[in-house]
Amino acid sequence: MNQSNTFWRVALLALPLSVFALIIIWPLLSSFYYGFTNWNGFSDNYDFVGFENFGKLFSDRLFMSAAINTIIWMAIAVVLPTVLGLSLALLIDSHVPGGPIFKTIFYLPICLSAVVVGQVWVWIYQPDWGLLNTIIEYVTNDRFNYAWLAKPDSALYSVIVAWSWQATGLSMVIYLAGLTAIPGDLLEVCELEGATTWQRIRHVILPLLTPATVVVVALSVINSLKGFDILYIMTGGGPFNSSDMLAMHMYNESFKKYLMGYGSAISVVLFLVALTIIRLCFKQLKKVDEIYG
């Protein structure tokens, strides 16, 4: 009985494990391997070049700007959806009229794919008839046709706003869940003791929401490292690489310039950075869990 149990356990695990090895572990190892070659993606002949690709990263202007853009994205992506999501959650939780409807409205973007969200925002940012410029024209009563996505100064930030619009829904939901976990009698006591709303939020609610905040921030950080799909739809990293992020840069080097070896090296770096950050996030989560759990 026991023996056959073990057999079945192993047997049932074998399939998912081998699939995992085949489509996750193997490609990962391949990337590491190709990162040390000058393979162009097509040829059978390529050389082992040691750390050359990794050394090249530091003199690559486009890699550096992609790295900076990734950091900018991460910084904004941590602040914007978190603050907005929290505010919305607090508002809805305070039983404003129509709360449930707003909850649905703000949650809806999560159900859309990045491709759809990207396309919608491309229309919003369209210079001649886009929603944003039309509103600005209406308010200022002056012709306004700034090309948000086609200007190097604004392209990256415009995409981040679009991304945050979608991410806000998720952080709102996480915060709402966190709010329901706060005991109602605790808040009643606050009220009886005469605490203002702000004091209540500042000293009771926010500290108790720490676990939710850690989850939201961790998700934002991890998602910004992966940032590719919505960027690909909205700007493709352009104009002239001004909104490139690391994943985009890797794609361009590998598939547009046919530098598969170099692209693999970039993905290795990206992987290591992501691994480090995700570890930090999990550590933080564990700590929070110990305190609040």
Token digits of residue 169: 């829904």
Nearest distance from residue 219's CB to other proteins, in Å? 27
Mark residues 63-102: x for contact with other proteins by CB under 8 A, - for none.
----------------------------------------
- Neighbouring CB atoms inside 10 A of 293's CB total 7
**In the complex, what is the shortest distance from the CB of residue 278 to other proteins, in angstroms, rounded to a whole number?**
22
Interface residue with other proteins among 3, 4, 5, 45 (CB under 8 A) is 45
Identify which of residues 190 and 246 has a Cβ nearer to other proteins in the complex.
Answer: 246
Contact 267, 255 (CB under 8 A): no
- 160-194: buried (b, 16+ CB within 10 Å) or exposed (e) per residue? bbbbbbbbbbbbbbbbbebbeeeeeeebeebeeee
Distances (CA, A) of 137 to 100, 132, 133, 153, 159: 33, 9, 6, 21, 21
Residue 264 lies near other proteins (rule: CB under 8 A): no
Among 72, 144, 223, 238, contact with other proteins (rule: CB under 8 A): 238
Return the range that interacts with other proteins (CB under 8 A); candidates 80-88, 98-106, 111-119, 141-149.
Answer: 141-149
Instruction: Among 217, 260, 270, 281, indicate the residue that binds other proteins (CB under 8 A).
Output: 260
Half-sphere exposure of 174 (CA within 13 A, CB side): 24
d(CA 67, CA 70): 5
User: Which residues contribute to the site for other proteins (CB under 8 A)?
Assistant: 22-23, 25-27, 29-30, 33, 37, 40-46, 126-128, 145, 147, 149-152, 236, 238-241, 252, 255-260
